[in-house]
């Protein structure tokens, strides 16, 4: 399946883009997505421990399965207010 | 957008909200940009958001706060883009029957903002 | 009298107070007379105070709060006499560098009011 | 010494006055004042446990000595706000 991953705040300069396009096997999990991202963007590695993943505007666990068309986002620690 | 805006914030709109006859307590928090950010003088902060998710997460937490603390009214606004020193970045206002729920509800919304709402300070200048 | 008044209260005066550039947080509490007092519908409450002592106790606690929580501004007004349903009985507003001190300072002043300031509800009608 | 004791809220109806005048030996304490008040106003007794005494606008302990000219007040539980 094709996935598009949105990237926010300082992670945009880490990966050099605000949207990443990936191909993953159908049913891949959030953890598998993060593994592929680390391989393609090694500079992300130190940031991933503090990064959460949102799927369709909700925080997702590492073992959540992804589906074609999901809106996936990398959410670094928030700092509103 | 319901809770996020790029326009300057004023608490006037919240202050004009009438209180229900069953509400005995109103608590309001204003977050304002300070001159010193991380110890250095600044002129402004810039905020960015993952807007549709931020709106949805805020809506969920506001509904939870209304239920959990029996709030009769909630007002929440967060500004995006450039916010200058002395300007309001966030307004959280609540009405509740009693003081304990009003403080707890307002602080709950502020802590969830600081923890879970995808808004970031992306630049200080 | 500085903190007590027999006139209707409005938060407008407090809302016009400028914030210091070192204050990032403003917290305000309004206490309003509710329709139900002890489960029964009322039209008003009447407050009485031991006025010079109430003023002195408030002054002492406000000074303590300023020191203890680093507040940059405090606004405190309590109304005496007859206060009708929906009208403000007390306003407590504080400015502080950060949110934790602002909430703690405002709640400290409210709890000391409820415990130690000689003001009484003497009649409901 | 002559003392004048101010009375507030519902205690006014308990003693039937908002000011009480008492004669006490010089140096008498707050506790001795309360003993004399109980004798003169037995209706006060059930209220005294929850009543604090203020001397010159400050809460005083039971063993605080009183002086001629002190402004003494009986402070029932407050209910502001």
Q: Which two tokens stand for residue B37?
A: 């950010």
**Residue B28 CB-density burial (10 A; 0-12 exposed, 13-18 middle, 19+ buried):** buried
pLDDT at C1: 83
Report the candidate in B43, B50, B45, B38 with the shortest Cα–Cα distance to residue B90.
B45
Gap between the Cα atoms of C12 and C93, Å rounded: 11
| Domains recognised in chain D with CATH numbers | 2-75 (3.10.20.30)
Whether A78 has its CB under 8 Å from any CB of chain B: the answer is yes
Residues of C within 8 A of D54 (CB-CB) are 50, 53, 118
Interface of B with C in 13-32 (CB under 8 A): 15, 19, 21-32
pLDDT at A30: 97
Nearest chain C CA: its distance from B23 CA (Å): 6
Backbone dihedral region of A16: left (phi > 0), alpha (psi from -120 to 50 degrees) or beta? left
Gap between the Cα atoms of D10 and C122, Å rounded: 7
Residue with tokens 């950060």: C98
* Domain limits for position C23: 4-124
Among A8, A10, A79, beta carbon nearest to B50 = A8
pLDDT at A23: 92
pLDDT at B35: 96
Maximum CA extent, chain A: 39
Predicted confidence (pLDDT) at residue A42 exceeds the cutoff of 90: yes
Report the candidate in A8, A6, A9, A11 with the shortest Cα–Cα distance to residue A33.
A6
The model's pLDDT over D17-36, given as tens digits with 9 standing for 90+, comes to 999 999 999 999 999 999 99
Which site among C5, C116, C120 would you substitute to test the D interface, given the most D Cβ atoms closer than 10 Å to its Cβ?
C120
What string of DSSP letters covers A20-34? EEEE--TT-BHHHHH
Structural domain tally of chain B?
A: 1
Q: Give the 3-state secondary structure percentages of chain C, helix then strand then coil, rounded to 5.
A: 35, 35, 30
Gap between the Cα atoms of B88 and B44, Å rounded: 11
Cβ–Cβ below 8 Å for C15 and B15: yes
CB atoms within 10 A of CB A31: 12
Q: What is the DSSP letter of D26?
A: T
Q: What is the DSSP letter of D29?
A: B
Measured between alpha carbons, how far is residue D23 from residues B125, D31, D33, D42 in Å?
72, 14, 9, 18
Q: How confident is the model at residue A47 (pLDDT cuts 50, 70, 90)?
A: very high
pLDDT at B37: 87
Mean pLDDT of C17-27: 95
Whether C3 has its CB under 8 Å from any CB of chain D: the answer is no
The model's pLDDT over D46-59, given as tens digits with 9 standing for 90+, comes to 999 999 999 999 99
Predicted confidence (pLDDT) at residue C9 exceeds the cutoff of 90: yes
pLDDT at C90: 98
Report the candidate in A16, A81, A15 with the shortest Cα–Cα distance to residue A44.
A15
Residue C79 host element (H or E): strand C73-79
pLDDT at C86: 96
D–A touching, 3+ CB–CB pairs within 8 Å:
no
Residues of C within 8 A of B25 (CB-CB) are 29-32
Identify the CATH number of the domain in which residue C57 sits: 3.90.1170.40
Nearest chain C CA: its distance from D73 CA (Å): 9
A71 pairs with which residues across the strands?
A4
Gap between the Cα atoms of C48 and B76, Å rounded: 36
Predicted confidence (pLDDT) at residue C83 exceeds the cutoff of 90: yes
Among C47, C52, C119, beta carbon nearest to D57 = C52
Q: How many CB pairs under 8 A join C and D?
A: 56
Q: How confident is the model at residue D15 (pLDDT cuts 50, 70, 90)?
A: very high
Among A6, A10, A78, beta carbon nearest to B117 = A78
Measured between alpha carbons, how far is residue B94 from residues B26, B28, C100, C104, D55 in Å?
6, 6, 17, 17, 40
Predicted confidence (pLDDT) at residue B120 exceeds the cutoff of 90: yes
Q: Decide: pTM greater than 0.90.
A: yes
Q: Which residues of C107-118 are buried (b: 16+ CB within 10 A; e: fewer)?
A: bbbbebbbebbb
Q: How confident is the model at residue A48 (pLDDT cuts 50, 70, 90)?
A: very high
Whether C102 has its CB under 8 Å from any CB of chain B: the answer is yes
pLDDT at C37: 87
Distance of CA C103 to the CA centre of its chain: 14
Gap between the Cα atoms of B81 and B100, Å rounded: 34
Interface of A with B in 11-50 (CB under 8 A): none
Whether C100 has its CB under 8 Å from any CB of chain B: the answer is no
pLDDT at C25: 98
What string of DSSP letters covers A6-65? EE-TTHHHHHT-SEEEEE--TT-BHHHHHHHHHHH-GGGHHHHTT-EEEETTEEE-TT-B
Predicted confidence (pLDDT) at residue B38 exceeds the cutoff of 90: no
List strands edge to edge, sheet with C81-84. C81-84, C44-49, C119-124
Q: What is the DSSP letter of B31?
A: E
Q: Is C71 helix (H, G, I), strand (E, B) or coil?
A: coil
Gap between the Cα atoms of A35 and C15, Å rounded: 52
């Amino acid at each position: 399946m094709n996935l598009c991953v949105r990237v926010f705040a300082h992670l945009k300069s880490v990966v050099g883009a605000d949207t990443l396009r990936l191909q993953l096997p159908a049913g891949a999990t959030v953890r598998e997505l993060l593994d592929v991202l680390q391989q393609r963007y090694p500079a992300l590695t130190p940031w991933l421990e503090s990064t959460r993943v949102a799927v369709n505007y909700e925080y997702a666990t590492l073992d959540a399965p992804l589906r074609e068309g999901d809106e996936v986002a990398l959410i670094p620690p928030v700092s509103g207010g | 957008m319901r809770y996020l805006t790029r326009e300057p914030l004023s608490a006037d709109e919240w202050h004009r909200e009438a209180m229900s006859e069953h509400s005995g307590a109103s608590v309001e928090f204003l977050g304002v940009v300070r001159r010193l950010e991380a110890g250095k003088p600044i002129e402004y902060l810039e905020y960015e958001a993952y807007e549709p998710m931020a709106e949805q997460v805020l809506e969920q937490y506001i509904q939870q706060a209304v239920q959990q603390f029996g709030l009769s009214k909630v007002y929440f606004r967060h500004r995006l883009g450039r916010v200058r020193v002395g300007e309001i970045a966030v307004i959280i206002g609540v009405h509740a029957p009693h003081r304990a729920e009003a403080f707890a509800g307002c602080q709950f919304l502020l802590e969830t903002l600081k923890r879970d709402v995808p808004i970031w300070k992306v630049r200080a200048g």
